[in-house]
Every structure is written in structure tokens, then in C-alpha cells.
Amino acid sequence: MHRILGSLLATAAVVAACGASAPTARVEVLGTLPHDPHAFTQGLELADGVLYEGTGLVGASELRELDPATGAVRRAVPIPEGLFGEGITVVGSSIWQLTWQDGVALQWDRATLTLLRQVPVQGEGWGLCLDGARLVRSDGTDRLHFHDPRTFAETGSVTVSGETALNELECVGGQVWANVWQTDRLVRIDPSTGAVTAEVDASGLLTAEQRADADVLNGIAHVTGDEYLLTGKRWPTTFRVRLTRQ
């Protein structure tokens, strides 16, 4: 049975660049699945029925393929030694994975999880998603950077109104969902203007006992319609949720 968590109602609207209040949304929990509590989740994406996860920390960073029904790890490959993995996104037959402060992005073969190449990136890597014909990258500030999905060359950027510490990203329907680092807030951004178009307060997903051993919310994967998977760094659970306006 679906249960609506009353504590997850967003409490305030974000003022967008145009001066209008962004709508707020609530989180309806539809179900849960196990998540590796040791995974320092940096990126999460569902593509063609396969759930992909990028994890971080030097010496522990991986690219993983998960079973979306059970959360079980099907395959996992370590990223090159000494690199700190960050956000991921699927582009056709490839997966791009950011690194934090290492100045490179990694391109993997999606079928074999074989590393194809490393390409230089100016600035830090945090979150990553594919918005139609371009990649969108966050760097922990108030900016979103745009990249060519074939070469990873930067093609532009935009400042997000009233927000900073933008982290994990998910591109959906021409908009960009971003987790605000060290919070349980999600904001939806219009990448053409940088305006915040919606906000979600996703606090309260974990119990107090689970929260004691977990880190921050940091995983957003679109499922279908208004349904998403949410998890975090060292979270024991992934939540399937529906985001609905108040």
C-alpha cells in the first residue's frame, strides 16, 4: 500500500529568477529495495531496465550495474587507481563517469563495463546527466556546465538562481533535477535560464537508526512519469517514490 509521508512536504517555495514562486512537491513512497550500505553513491541512473551506480572515495570508487528489482549488484568494476569517482550518465552505448578533483572524465563501454578512454575536464566533477543532445555537469557551486556528449568538450554554462552546492543530477523532460549537497532537498532547474522551477524536501526517508550510519542523500534516477528512485551515500535502502505537487 502506498504511504504518504507527511513530514516530506516541502515547507517553502523557492523564488525563481522571474520573481514567481516555484511550486513545491511532496514525496509519496511507493516501495523500497535494498542498497549496499558500503556504497558511497555519487550517481544513479536507470536506462533500458538496468540500474547503474557510480561510487566514490579513492580506492573504493566503482562503476556498478544493479538489478532494479532487488538492488543486487550484478557487475562492478573499479575505476583507475587513485581517482575519486563521481556522477554518471548513459549516452547510447557508453557511460560517462566524472571524477571529483582529478580533472578527467571516464568513458566506459556500456555492454562490457570496459574503460574506453579518459578525457580532460576543467574544474570539479559532481553530478552528470544527459539533456537531449548535451551533457549537464555540476561542480558543487551554483553553476551547471554543458558538454558535448561525444567529446566532453565544454560548450557553455548557466548560473542557477538562489542555489549552490548542486550535486547529483537527473535530466528529465528538458529540466534538471539536482540534489543540494548536505541536505535532503531536491530542486528542479530550467537549464536554459537557471531558474528553479520546483522544490522537494525529501527528509525523513531513513529512520533515526538508519540515519546514524548513513551519509547524505545523493542518488536520483528517473523511472517513469513522476516516479523516481532516491538513495544516498552509505544508505541501506533505495526508495521508489512519486513526486506530486501539493
Helix spans in the chain (H):
208-213
Q: What is the dihedral sign for C-alpha 6, 12, 15, 20?
A: positive
Q: How confident is the model at residue 21 (pLDDT cuts 50, 70, 90)?
A: low
Reduced to 3 DSSP states, what percent helix, strand and coil does the chain have, rounded to the nearest 5? Answer: 5, 55, 45
The reply to whether CATH 2.120.10.30 applies to domain 3-245 is yes
Q: How confident is the model at residue 16 (pLDDT cuts 50, 70, 90)?
A: very low
Mean pLDDT of the chain: 91
Asked if 92 and 52 count as a contact pair (C-beta separation under 8 A), the reply is no
Q: What is the pLDDT of residue 177?
A: 98
Q: What is the pLDDT of residue 231?
A: 97
User: β-strand 24-34 against 196-201: which pairing, if any?
Assistant: parallel
pLDDT of 73 above 70: yes
- The domain segmentation of the chain, as residue ranges, is 3-245
Say how far apart CA 191 and CA 230 lie, in whole Å: 22
Say how far apart CA 214 and CA 233 lie, in whole Å: 7
Could you tell me which residues are beta bridge partners of residue 65?
52, 75
Burial 88-102 (b: 16+ CB within 10 A, else e): bbbbeebbbbbbbeb
- Its pTM surpasses 0.75: yes
Q: How confident is the model at residue 4 (pLDDT cuts 50, 70, 90)?
A: very low
pLDDT digits (tens, 9 = 90+) for 125-147: 999 999 999 999 999 999 999 99
